[in-house]
Chains A and B, each alone.
Chain A
Amino acid sequence: MPGEIALSMKGVSKSFPGVRALQNVDFSLRSGEIHALMGENGAGKSTLIKVLTGVYSGDSGEIKLGGKSVIIKSPQGAQEIGISTVYQEITLCPNLTVAENIYIGRGKKAFVNWRWMEKGAASILERFQIPVKATQQLAKCSIAVQQMVAIARAVDMDCKVLILDEPTSSLDEQEVLKLFGLMRDLKSRGVGIIFVTHFLDQVYEVCDRITVLRNGELVGEYEIKDLPRVELVSKMMGKELDEISQIASPGEKKFEGEPVYEALGLSSASGVKPFDFFIKKGEVNGFTGLLGSGRSESVRAIFGADKIIGGKVKINGKEAKISSPIQAMKQGIGYLPEDRKSDGIIDDLSVRDNIIVALQVMKGFFRPFSKSEAERFADTYIEALGIKTASKNTPIKSLSGGNQQKVILARWLLTNPQYLILDEPTRGIDVGTKLEIQKIVLKLAADGVCVTFISSEIEEMLRTCSRLIVMRDRNVAGELLGSELTQDHIMRTIAGEVK
């Protein structure tokens, strides 16, 4: 039952120094609908949302809310007229209590009524079944709880328009389901919801309509039933897509010989229980499990990124000591971290420096590469991986997410590793780059490099990995290979139904 137009944006443009992020984009949202906003990275979704929430001011264009033209100057202004937002990164204050985070920045009263606030917060937390006390400091909660608090805050604000900008990336399946229930409830109460996500499944599960953006321009607005998945993807990428079929499942393969890397009873201070692990030449395997199951912590332990508290490691059959990243690198291990922004890129440095840094560190402090050598390395990989950048001297922070990820990949490829760990290399990047990265992984394996691949999209893992290690509660719950590698079987192993 689509209602009337709750929000409309007409001819919105926005440019940044050197970049036109939005060009003449129209968007409309009815009350009581869930509207997916789709597009590759750099398509302009985030910019559109930030214009709508007053973080940026648009260069031109008109925004109408409930038929009335509005000018949104600040996030505060957006809140006041009934637009509330949940961002991908948690935008709460870690030093305040959960209750304060729900209520701060709302209302006009000069003084704070703590008791009223804590009571209100407690009832909200109960309604959303968030297992945390209202008086607890936010920093002491898990990321998923923090995200749920952010959602609870946004929903509680009695809004006409709710914007969810990739809210699900840190939630586990249960919590996503909870969120969807909530979204449907709000929808039935006439709230218009804008939902941004990279997960196609989620779009088709809850959304009514889809707006697709590409390169800062509007591609079109579609009813969900008129737009099959494949077409959506091709609309987002701007080309017909049969590339997915090019990547065949690796199927059953036998790997002979000594493991390149082998760990016995490895455990780290980040809480991962002792586990055994090996990988052989040319093999691609993966860690899977819910968020917080210890899959990232396991690979961090392999790379020596966290403090190792036990276990033995063998490289090519010989015992080795890996307790810091540099030791792992010297053994030919590379690691692309899960959190690109905080652990991967060095944002003010140029693309060139970001590419050479790992190899440079391995070479040593007193032996810098000459400028021409460094340039050559950078040029080679910018071309080989098709990194889109103005020049190799551009700071990496001005690249799009997918291209930043390619730079980090280039950094590790340059070190010519015998074992490469990729933790969520495809998270938050566009479909095209996702496929490219998967292809690179398979090509590396064919060249004899072993790769550990982690992704929250099981389909992606199935396409690339020939063996999966399933994690649950920071323990290895099982190891699947061959015919066991089906979505259904993996799910049941993660859930603990299969031993």
Chain B
Amino acid sequence: MPKTLRRPSVSLSHLIVPLLALLVIVIFNVIHDPSFFSVSLVVNNSGNTVLSGNLVSILNGASELAILAMGMTIVTAASGGQDISVGAGAAIAGSVFVKVIKSGNSSLGLILFAFLACCLAIMLFGAFNGALVAIFKIQPMIATLILFTAGRSIAYWVNGGATPTVSGDLLGYLGGFFPGMPVPTPVFIVIATGALFALALKFTNLRLYVQAVGINSTSSRLNGINTTWIKLLSFIILAACVAIAGVIRVCRLGLINHETILLDIEMDAILAVAIGGNALSGGKFSLAGSVIGAYVIQALTTTLYALKVPSNAVKSYKAIVIIALVAVGSPVIKKLLVKARDSFLLKRKAAGGAS
């Protein structure tokens, strides 16, 4: 065997890029305007005492994105591609949710029922995407392009083209704050979703199967893994995330606008996955990385707003930061860094040997 210089460090190295990005944003804000981080208690319109400030709005605002990023990570890992129909899917989910809510008074039971209904509907679409990918061996981006194109029109059709509003205390609580609770509810929903994922990863072989299928599908099949089912499952899991994200957004706004709800969120979700250090070509994955990625994106957006950048131009700045981020994390730059470190270590070793 060739001599080994050192063991490659693998532990947590995948989280370095997203954490660094977060750190840079934080440092920038500390220098630019320390009050960026001030959190205060205010009384909102409905008389609740709630936390307010940029930190809270980052945590709160990234909720939908964080949830979608988790699902997107699983799909990316298993299929080596991305689902670009999540925004359109959320429109369908939201429309179905509103349609069911509209049929009665918004009691807890009805909300739960509506959520289940929209979950089921969107899971069917997820299964459709998954079937195209798993059974017909179509690249995920292409397969989901279909729903991306048609999804919002399907949502339009659900509510007959109207943009109905929904109201109700409970819905308001879900999208905002529960009385007496200063932390916004969507944050708890993210935590709950994350916990569900953690449990699934702990008590099933989801991670092993998904990674194996994503890395080498043929080999996985020869080891008895039902690769078709795993890919399908990944899309269904993402669909559940889409349903949750869609419902959160509907509760926040109190209405469903099929054309604008979670518009372009698929792009952000994919970015979150990439920033989180996950290879977009599939294989090993880190949910934590993707969630951090989601908060990085939201922090960036909030920072830009705080800098009084007009909302339409935010995209441009975001793009520059993203390019800088992925450039730093690119394989070529990484290789150069490793090389530099190796030659440094060798030199030090040589110097140590000489003395």
Contact = CB atoms under 8 A, between A and B. Distances in A.
B209 interface: yes
A346 B216 contact: yes
B338 to A, nearest CB: 5
A353 B208 contact: yes
A347 B226 contact: no
B13 to A, nearest CB: 13
For chain B, which range describes its interface: under 10, 10 to 19, 20 to 34, or 35 or more residues? 20 to 34
Contacts of B1: 42, 215, 388, 400
Nearest to B221: A325
B155 to A, nearest CB: 34
B216 A326 contact: no
A308 interface: no
B5 A342 contact: no
A349 B215 contact: yes
B223 A361 contact: yes
Contacts of A366: 203-205
A390 B4 contact: yes
Interface stretch (A1-9, A15-23, A443-451, A487-495): A15-23
A161 interface: no
Most buried by A among B205, B215, B219: B219
Which residue among A20, A344, A362, A368 has the maximum number of chain B CB atoms within 10 Å of its CB? A368
A342 B212 CA distance: 12
A366 B233 CA distance: 14
Interface string A18-40: 11110000000000000000000
A348 B284 contact: yes
B222 interface: yes
A365 interface: yes
A358 B2 contact: no
B208 A360 contact: yes
A305 B222 contact: yes
Contacts of B6: 18
B98 to A, nearest CB: 35
Contacts of A20: 2-3, 5
B218 A365 contact: no
A45 B284 CA distance: 31
Interface string A334-361: 0101000011111111000100011011
B222 A337 contact: yes
Interface string B339-355: 10010000000000000
A390 B8 CA distance: 9
Contact of B7 (A42, A365, A391): A391
Contacts of B283: 348
B222 A349 contact: no
Nearest to B206: A365
A470 interface: no
Nearest to A17: B338
A347 B284 CA distance: 11
A19 B212 contact: no
Interface string A428-457: 000000000000000000000000000000
B3 A361 contact: no
Contacts of B222: 303, 305, 325, 335, 337, 343-344
B218 A342 contact: yes
Given A357-B208, A393-B10, A329 B215 contact: no
Contacts of A325: 221-224
B216 to A, nearest CB: 5
Interface in B217-251: 218-226
Given A325-B224, A346-B219, A368 B208 contact: yes
A116 B299 CA distance: 60
B340 to A, nearest CB: 12
A51 to B, nearest CB: 15
A216 interface: yes
B220 A390 contact: no
A15 B342 CA distance: 10
B215 A346 contact: yes
B208 A390 contact: no
Interface string A399-425: 010000000000100000000000000
A393 B7 CA distance: 11
Contacts of A411: 223
Given A42-B2, A368-B204, A368-B205, A357 B212 contact: yes
Contacts of A345: 216, 219
Given A20-B5, A216-B2, A365 B204 contact: yes
B60 interface: no
Residue from the set A326, A365, A390, A391 with the largest chain B CB neighbour count within 10 Å: A365
A134 to B, nearest CB: 30
B211 interface: yes
A344 B215 CA distance: 12
A367 B202 CA distance: 10
Contacts of A357: 208, 212, 220, 223, 225
A69 to B, nearest CB: 24
A236 B275 CA distance: 47
Given A346-B220, A357-B223, A368-B203, A18 B212 contact: no
B219 A326 contact: no
A21 B2 contact: yes
Interface in B128-172: none
A358 B218 contact: no
A282 to B, nearest CB: 25
Nearest to A303: B222
- Which of B1, B3, B223, B225 is most buried by chain A, counting CB atoms within 10 A of its CB? B223
A216 B1 CA distance: 8
A364 B4 CA distance: 37
Interface in B172-227: 202-206, 208-209, 211-212, 215-216, 218-226
Contacts of B215: 346-349
A18 B7 contact: yes
Nearest to A217: B2
Nearest to A47: B2
B209 to A, nearest CB: 7
Contacts of B226: 326
Nearest to B284: A348
Contacts of B219: 337, 342-346
Contacts of B221: 305, 325
Contacts of B342: 17
Contacts of B208: 353, 357, 360, 368
Contacts of B7: 18, 390-391
Interface in A298-338: 303, 305, 324-326, 329, 335, 337
Given A348-B211, A348-B284, A18 B5 contact: yes
A325 B205 CA distance: 18
B54 to A, nearest CB: 38
A337 B220 CA distance: 12
Contacts of A368: 202-205, 208
Contacts of A324: 224
A297 to B, nearest CB: 14
Given A42-B1, A324-B224, A349-B212, 13 more contacts: A18-B5, A19-B2, A305-B221, A326-B224, A329-B223, A349-B211, A358-B223, A365-B209, A366-B204, A368-B208, A388-B1, A391-B7, A411-B223
Closest 5 CB pairs of A and B: A326-B224, A361-B224, A19-B2, A346-B216, A348-B215
8 contacts: A44-B2, A357-B220, A361-B205, A364-B205, A365-B204, A366-B203, A393-B10, A398-B8
Interface of B: 1-8, 10, 202-206, 208-209, 211-212, 215-216, 218-226, 283-284, 338-339, 342
